[in-house]
Amino acid sequence: MLSGLGAGLFFTQQQNNQTITDVNRSQIQTLPAKITQPIVQTSRLSDVAENVVQSVVNISSEKLIQRKQASPFGPFQNDPFFRHFFGNPVPQQSPSLKQKEQSLGSGVIISDEGIILTNNHVIERAESIRISLADGQEADAEVLGADPDSDLAVLKLKTKLSHLKPLTLGDSGQLRLGEVVLAVGNPFGVGQTVTMGIVSAKGRANVGIVEYEDFIQTDAAINPGNSGGALVNLKGELIGINTAIISRSGGYQGIGFAIPTNMVKPIMESLIQKGKVVRGWLGIGIQDLSEDLQQAFSLQDQKGVIVTQVMEESPAKKGGLRQGDIILAVNGKPTTSTAKLRNLIANAGAGKKVTLKVKRNKQVKTLQVQLGEKPDPKVVAQKSKMPSSFGGLHVANSTKQLRKRFGVTDDQQGVFILQVESGSSAARAGFRPGDLIQTANGQKVTSIDQLKNAVKGKKKMIPVLIRRQGGVLYMVLPQLP
């Protein structure tokens, strides 16, 4: 279970369930005469911890939420037997009540002017925000900008406070697996707390927390209320913003995620300067390369991301990208997954030129593309002309009736899949009735005859481009039906 780290009623539950046990002294063994030198010196850890605590703040936000008023008749008001005798004593829709809700989180001071970094979910829809420093000073804060897509927000103190101690932003790209890190935050609202762990993994994406993910994974103990707190290295540099945990209970279980500073920095600067994040945009549909697709495209062990769609009048179209291209790198950085590619393009920024390393028809090419600004999702959907649903393994040529049946516009050409036989290799591969085959083996398909010619002489592992429910993706056809 993924959990944000905002504190709430969980604090009270933890307090009630807390138990304290005495040490069984009979189990203590005599220590050896010689003790090896610890990997990390305690004095060094203490210096870092005591300094960093001064830079981490507690955040208390308050917002109004609407809750449905409980009916005096409870769950029986919709029961037909109850209404037969009592009529409709209350409306079917119970009236809503506005209630104040408080949440607790953490933040990091990053400038002498009172600029504070935190998570968007800590202050989202907040009507008031109160900041508390480790030395007891308090002040209200305002939101300079927030970005739900990365779960970051930037605050500014409304009152100038003395002796602020901003943290230095470190280079999260230099982190190594196993490196010792400290997590500092306000778990369960108890106040600034320091825990220690290691970097368990880097570049965690597709976790499902936010749209843009490139998390540092750590086993440093972080709990509800740590959201927006600092993850620091042993130099005392900020290398991540603690954001979420994986937990079955809501508490610490050894897997925490932090947004790396190399991702935080451009987002933070954009929020401060413009109040929003201006991300780079190519205007393409993309898909990860499965083992089957690698085999079908003769890529062997080469990693990359396949282009499933190039939107009209997009930066990608102008830059020469084509459907079926395999993007191997952006500005020399490998694109091993769709998440990695999306982050590289987004962080590059609108208006910037990027160098794409692309594989096309077994040849590697270099393309220069000037990125656009990521538009509103509704605009993207209109430009891509993607129907709401479409179709298509017994196959049939596209007709007006079939396009109407499957909700496909007249300008979309291909061969419809009408039926997928249960238990067949095509069914196991994931094909569905309603899929619209548009290319096969790299060749455009507008009829069954063209489909046959495209796969002629190739019995298995045929790459096929299909449209499905508003999206475009490549699949591998193990064999023809």
Q: Are residues 472 and 392 in the same domain?
A: yes
Contact (Cβ atoms closer than 8 angstroms) between residue 126 and residue 141: no
Q: Does residue 382 surpass a pLDDT of 70?
A: no
Q: Reply yes or no on whether the pLDDT at 481 is more than 60.
A: no
Highest mean pLDDT among 77-81, 91-95, 206-210: 206-210
Which residue among 55, 60, 121, 214 is the active-site one? Answer: 121
Q: Same structural domain for residues 295 and 375?
A: yes
Q: How many CB atoms lie within 10 A of CB 128?
A: 14
Kindly name the residue from 227, 247, 314, 337 that is annotated as catalytic.
227
| Reported confidence tier of residue 76, pLDDT bands at 50, 70, 90 | very low
pLDDT given for residue 234 in this prediction: 93
Question: What is the CATH classification number for the domain harbouring 422?
Answer: 2.30.42.10
SS (HEC) of the chain = CEEECCCCCHHHHHHHHCCCCCCCHHHCCCCCCCCCCCCCCHHHHHHHHHHHHCCEEEEEEEEEEEEECCCCCHHHHHCHHHHHHHCCCCCCCCCEEEEEEEEEEEEEECCCCCEEEECHHHHCCCCEEEEECCCCCEEEEEEEEEECCCCEEEEEECCCCCCCCCCCECCHHHCCCCCEEEEEECHHHCCCEEEEEEEEEEEECCCCCCCCCCEEEECCCCCCCCCCCEEECCCCCEEEEEEEEECCCCCCCCCEEEEEHHHHHHHHHHHHHHCCCCCEECCEEEEECCHHHHHHCCCCCCCCEEEEEECCCCHHHHHCCCCCCEEEEECCEECCCHHHHHHHHHHHCCCCEEEEEEEECCEEEEEEEECEECCCHHHHHHHHCCCCCCCCCCEEECCHHHHHHHCCCCCCCCEEECCCCCCCHHHHHCCCCCCEEEEECCEECCCHHHHHHHHCCCCCCEEEEEEECCEEEEEEECCCC
34 — pLDDT class (breaks 50, 70, 90): very low
Number of independent structural domains in the chain: 3
Residue ending a domain, among 274, 301, 331, is 274
User: Among this protein's residues, is 227 annotated catalytic?
Assistant: yes
pLDDT digits (tens, 9 = 90+) for 109-151: 999 999 999 999 999 888 899 999 998 899 999 999 999 999 9
In the set 147, 151, 214, 325, the catalytic residue is 151
pLDDT greater than 50 at residue 19: no
Q: How do residues 399-426 score in pLDDT, each as one tens digit? A: 776 777 677 777 788 888 877 765 567 7
For the purposes of burial, counting CB atoms within 10 Å of the CB of 285, is it exposed (0-12), middle (13-18) or buried (19 or more)?
buried
**The predicted structure's pLDDT at residue 18:** 37
Is position 163 within any domain? no
Clarify whether residues 422 and 454 are in a common domain.
Answer: yes
pLDDT at 177 over 90: yes
217 and 173, same structural domain? Answer: yes
- Dist CA 213 CA 205 (whole Å): 5
**Regarding predicted confidence, which is higher, 68 or 246?**
246
pLDDT recorded at residue 140: 95
| One domain for residues 305 and 377 | yes
pLDDT of 274 > 50? The answer is: yes
What CATH number does the domain containing 248 carry? 2.40.10.10
Same domain, 187 and 267: yes
Q: Is residue 358 part of a domain?
A: yes
pLDDT of 30 > 70? The answer is: no
> CA 105, CA 126: separation in Å to the nearest integer?
12
Residue 75 pLDDT > 50, yes or no?
no
Structure confidence at residue 389 as a pLDDT band (50, 70, 90)? very low
pLDDT band at 106 (very low <50, low <70, confident <90, very high): very high
- Spatial contact of 461 and 442, defined as CB atoms under 8 Å apart: no
Tell whether 158 is covered by a domain: no
Q: Is the pLDDT of residue 191 over 90?
A: no
* Same domain membership, residue 302 and residue 207: no
Q: Do 362 and 377 share a domain, yes or no? A: yes
User: pLDDT above 90 covers what percent of the chain?
Assistant: 37
Top pLDDT among 23 and 447 is at 447
Q: Is 17 within the bounds of a domain? A: no
- pLDDT the model gives residue 376: 61
Whether 472 maps to a domain, the answer reads yes
Considering only residues 305 and 481, tell me which one the structure prediction assigns the higher pLDDT: 305
In the predicted model, is pLDDT for residue 194 greater than 80? yes
217 and 203 housed in the same domain? yes
Domain of 407, in residue numbers: 387-477
Q: What is the pLDDT of residues 275-328, one digit of tens each?
A: 989 899 999 988 888 887 887 777 776 788 999 888 888 999 999 999 889 999
The verdict on residue 92 lying in a domain is no
Instruction: Report CA torsion sign: 409, 414, 415, 417.
Output: negative
**Domain finish residue from 244, 259, 274:** 274
Does 270 share its domain with 176?
Answer: yes
Is residue 462 a part of any domain in this protein?
A: yes
In a domain, 144, yes or no: no
The pLDDT value given to residue 168: 94
Domain boundary among 248, 274, 300: 274
Do 257 and 306 fall within a single domain?
Answer: no
Whether residue 285 sits in one domain with residue 373: yes
Cα–Cα dist 155/131, whole Å: 10
Residue 473: pLDDT above 70?
yes
Q: 135: how many CB neighbours lie within 10 A of its CB?
A: 12
Average pLDDT, the chain: 78
